[in-house]
């Protein structure tokens, strides 16, 4: 079902509790210009505000996810303009999403497109997909989390090699290294991401939110602090209706109905 506020370059399609944000700029392999970034952020805000949406998938139309940030738009930009335009606002919105994000990657996820995927909670990729941060080849560096995400996902030495050469990382290798969640046949990434989204949407929303918070914030804390935060979140869930419903449904051998309460 199409979104009620579509555009030429970004649209939202909804299937029950799963909303899919589709990047559609095929003439530039879905390269991210400022207009597209703004529309992705706006679509994300609408999806997060929709109580019927529980999981958000991000996919590229055609054969590509996003081949980077639009170089033609960046060539004359100044440091001050980066601040005034807010060229990182879409990435900050992605990282702050209240609902799980799944990237469905086909073809290229390079530069800003790779950083977009890495902002998501999970990445499902077709087996011919390529990831990379080739910014160094045009005189700059990643500026929306690429250095930090690569170092955390791949380790310092592997990340350094890819960042300093700009080389691509095939999906199968990215999966083996733990950077992405799942590899499927080329052309099947969106369908699998949406299937996964429906599976997660059937889980208790409060537990989903608590797990996302702990996984995202815990690695940056001392282990004792992270364990204490986990224990606190675990105990709080025992005050929820969903905890009672989940355990009763298990004992009664029926499917649970979670309400996020």
**pLDDT greater than 90 at residue 88:** no
Interior/surface letters 6-35, b for 16+ CB within 10 angstroms, e for the rest: eeebbbbbbeebbbbbbbbbeebbbbbbbe
Taking alpha carbons only, the member of 125, 100, 52, 124 closest to residue 200 is 100
* pLDDT at residue number 11: 94
Query: What pLDDT is attached to residue 4?
Result: 52
Residues counted in the chain? 261
The per-residue pLDDT for 31 is: 87
CB atoms within 10 A of CB 178: 11
Is the confidence at residue 6, as pLDDT, over 60? no
Q: Tell me the pLDDT tens digit for each residue of 26-61.
A: 888 898 988 999 999 999 999 999 999 999 999 999
Give the span between the Cα atoms of 30 and 91, in whole angstroms.
Answer: 16
DSSP 32: B
- Which ranges of the chain would DSSP assign to H, the alpha helix? 34-49, 71-74, 79-85, 89-95, 112-118, 146-154, 156-165, 171-176, 189-201, 205-217, 223-236, 241-251
Per-residue model confidence (pLDDT) at position 238: 95
Structural domains of the chain, ranges and CATH numbers in brackets:
10-201 (3.90.226.10), 205-251 (1.10.12.10)
What average pLDDT is seen over the chain? 92
Q: Is the pLDDT of residue 1 over 60?
A: no
CB 55 within 8 A of CB 209: no
pLDDT, residue 3, reads: 57
pLDDT for res 191: 97
What pLDDT is recorded for position 2?
54
Mean pLDDT of all residues in 217-233:
94
Residues contacting residue 157 through CB under 8 Å, at least 6 positions apart: none
Secondary-structure breakdown of the chain: helix, strand, coil percentages, each rounded to the nearest 5: 50, 15, 35
pLDDT (0 to 100) of residue 10: 95
pLDDT at 243: 96
pLDDT at position 86 is 67
How many beta carbons lie within 10 A of that of residue 134, not counting itself?
Answer: 19
Where is pLDDT greater, at 143 or 252? 252
Summarised one tens digit per residue, pLDDT across range 155-204 is 999 999 999 999 999 999 999 999 999 999 999 999 999 999 999 999 99
Confidence of residue 87 (pLDDT cuts 50, 70, 90): confident
């Amino acid at each position: 079902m199409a979104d009620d506020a579509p555009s030429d370059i970004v649209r939202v399609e909804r299937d029950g509790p799963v909303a899919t944000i589709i990047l559609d700029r095929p003439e530039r392999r879905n390269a991210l210009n400022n207009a597209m970034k703004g529309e992705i952020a706006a679509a994300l805000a609408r999806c997060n505000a929709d109580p019927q949406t529980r999981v958000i998938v991000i996919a590229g139309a055609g054969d590509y996810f996003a081949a980077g940030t639009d170089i033609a738009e960046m060539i004359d930009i100044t440091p001050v303009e980066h601040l005034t335009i807010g060229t990182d606002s879409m990435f900050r919105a992605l990282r702050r999403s209240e609902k799980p994000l799944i990237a469905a990657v086909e073809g290229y996820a390079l530069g800003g497109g790779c950083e977009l995927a890495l902002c998501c909670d999970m990445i499902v990729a077709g087996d011919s997909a390529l990831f990379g941060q080739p910014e160094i080849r045009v005189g700059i560096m990643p500026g929306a989390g690429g250095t930090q995400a690569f170092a955390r996902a791949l380790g310092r030495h592997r990340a350094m090699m890819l960042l300093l050469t700009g080389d691509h990382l095939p999906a199968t290798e990215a999966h083996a290294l733990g950077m992405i969640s799942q590899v499927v046949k080329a052309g099947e990434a969106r369908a699998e991401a949406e299937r996964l989204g429906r599976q997660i949407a059937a889980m208790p929303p409060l537990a989903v939110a608590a797990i996302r918070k702990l996984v995202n914030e815990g690695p940056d804390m001392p282990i004792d602090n992270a364990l204490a935060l986990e224990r606190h979140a675990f105990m709080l869930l025992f005050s929820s209706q969903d905890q009672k419903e989940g355990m009763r449904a298990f004992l009664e051998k029926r499917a649970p109905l979670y309400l996020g309460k």
